[in-house]
C-alpha cells in the first residue's frame, strides 16, 4: 500500500494548496482534513492552535501519511516548530510570502492580509524582519473573511464590502504587492481584482508549497511511482457541501468524520 501525503487546514481554504500539489504531483495519493468545526483558527490562542494542530497531525499519522503539509498559515506560524520537533515525518508549512513581495515591489510598500494568529506570531515577525529590510510592510487582519468563505460566500456583496474596508487603507499607502497570508484567501482573488488597481501584484505561496513538497519527497525517497492512479480522500467535521463545491472529479472522495 502506498502512503499518502497528509494535508490539514482549519477548513476548506487549504484546498487551494491541495490543488497545486495535485497539479504538480498527480500520482501522489492525498488525505485532506478540513477542521471546519474549529474554524477560524486565526482568532484562537497559540495554545489552542497548537492543540488543534497536534490533533490533526495525529489523525493523519494514524491514516499512515508519509509527509504532512500544514496548509494553513496560522497553524504553520504557531505550531510547525513543535510538530517538527515531536513527530518523525517531514512537515511542509506555509507562511506569508514576504520575500518574493520584497523582491518584487517598486514602491517599497507591500500589504499583507492575514489572520490575527498569523500576524501576531513570532515566526511571521522574524520572517518579516529578515526579508523586508528597507520595505514598509502594511499588515491587515482579515477578521471575518475565513467565516464568509467557509459559509460559501466568497463572492458575496458582504465579502466585497469587508474586503474593500481592509484593502483601501493599504492602497492609499500605495502598496504595489498584496501578499495573501491565509490559504482561504485565494478564493477571494476574483473580488480582490475588482477592488485593486490593475498594476497591483497579488502574491500567494501555493505553487511554492507544492514545489517544496516535491523536493522533500524526493530527498527522502518518499515519492510515489509516477504510474500510480491517485486517490484523494477529504474529511471534514462539518457539512460536506462546501468541500464538494470546491473539489470534485475522478479519484476524489469526500466524507464527514467526527474529529
Residues within the interface to ligand DGL (CB under 6 A):
9-10, 13-14, 39-42, 72-74, 115, 118, 146, 182-184
Sole residue written with cell 465579502:
159
Of the pair 191, 223, the CB lying nearest ligand DGL is at 191
CB of residue 52 to ligand DGL, shortest distance in Å: 10
Share in percent of the chain as helix, strand, coil (round to 5): 45, 20, 35
Of the pair 163, 223, the CB lying nearest ligand DGL is at 163
**182 in active site:** yes
Of the pair 43, 195, the CB lying nearest ligand DGL is at 43
Q: Which parts of 114-247 fold into alpha helices (H)?
A: 116-119, 122-131, 145-150, 157-172, 189-195, 206-219, 241-246
CB of residue 72 to ligand DGL, shortest distance in Å: 4
d(CA 191, CA 43): 23
d(CA 196, CA 187): 16
Q: Which of 5, 89, 178, 182 is catalytic?
A: 182
Of the pair 148, 223, the CB lying nearest ligand DGL is at 148
Q: Cell numbers at residue 115, please?
A: 489572520
Q: Which residue is nearest to ligand DGL (CB)?
A: 42
Of the pair 187, 230, the CB lying nearest ligand DGL is at 187
Residue 91 to residues 2, 109, 120, Cα–Cα distance (Å): 18, 31, 22
- Residue pair 113/166 in contact (Cβ under 8 Å)? The answer is yes
Q: Cell numbers at residue 246, please?
A: 470546491
Phi (first) and psi of residue 58, to 5 degrees? -65, -35
CB of residue 122 to ligand DGL, shortest distance in Å: 16
Q: Which of 68, 72, 178, 200 is catalytic?
A: 72
CB of residue 17 to ligand DGL, shortest distance in Å: 9
Q: Cell numbers at residue 70, please?
A: 500544514
Omega of the bond leading into 40 within 30 degrees of 0 (cis):
yes
CB of residue 184 to ligand DGL, shortest distance in Å: 5
**72 in active site:** yes
CB of residue 198 to ligand DGL, shortest distance in Å: 26
Of the pair 44, 99, the CB lying nearest ligand DGL is at 44
d(CA 129, CA 123): 10
- Residue pair 80/107 in contact (Cβ under 8 Å)? The answer is no
Catalytically active residues are 72, 182
Amino acid at each position: 500500500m502506498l502512503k499518502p501525503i497528509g494535508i490539514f487546514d482549519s477548513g476548506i481554504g487549504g484546498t487551494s494548496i491541495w490543488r497545486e500539489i495535485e497539479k504538480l504531483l498527480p500520482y501522489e495519493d492525498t488525505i485532506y482534513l478540513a477542521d471546519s468545526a474549529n474554524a477560524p483558527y486565526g482568532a484562537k490562542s497559540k495554545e489552542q492552535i497548537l492543540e488543534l494542530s497536534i490533533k490533526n497531525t495525529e489523525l493523519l499519522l494514524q491514516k499512515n501519511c508519509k509527509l504532512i503539509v500544514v496548509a494553513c498559515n496560522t497553524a504553520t506560524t504557531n505550531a510547525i516548530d513543535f510538530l517538527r520537533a515531536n513527530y518523525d515525518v517531514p512537515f511542509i508549512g506555509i507562511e506569508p510570502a514576504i520575500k518574493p513581495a520584497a523582491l518584487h515591489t517598486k514602491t517599497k510598500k507591500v500589504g499583507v492580509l492575514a489572520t490575527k494568529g498569523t500576524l501576531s506570531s513570532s515566526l511571521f515577525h522574524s520572517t518579516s524582519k529578515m526579508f523586508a529590510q528597507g520595505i514598509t510592510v502594511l499588515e491587515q487582519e482579515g477578521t471575518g473573511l475565513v467565516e464568509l468563505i467557509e459559509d460559501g460566500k466568497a463572492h458575496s456583496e458582504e465579502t466585497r464590502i469587508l474586503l474593500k474596508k481592509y484593502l483601501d487603507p493599504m492602497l492609499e499607502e500605495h502598496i504595489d504587492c498584496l501578499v495573501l497570508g491565509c490559504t482561504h484567501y485565494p478564493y477571494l482573488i476574483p473580488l480582490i481584482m475588482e477592488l485593486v488597481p490593475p498594476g497591483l501584484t497579488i502574491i500567494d505561496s501555493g505553487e511554492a508549497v507544492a514545489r517544496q513538497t516535491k523536493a522533500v519527497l524526493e530527498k527522502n525517497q518518499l515519492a510515489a511511482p509516477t504510474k500510480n492512479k491517485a486517490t484523494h480522500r477529504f474529511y471534514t467535521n462539518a457539512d460536506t457541501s462546501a468541500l464538494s463545491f470546491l473539489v470534485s472529479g475522478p479519484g476524489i472522495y469526500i466524507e464527514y468524520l467526527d474529529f
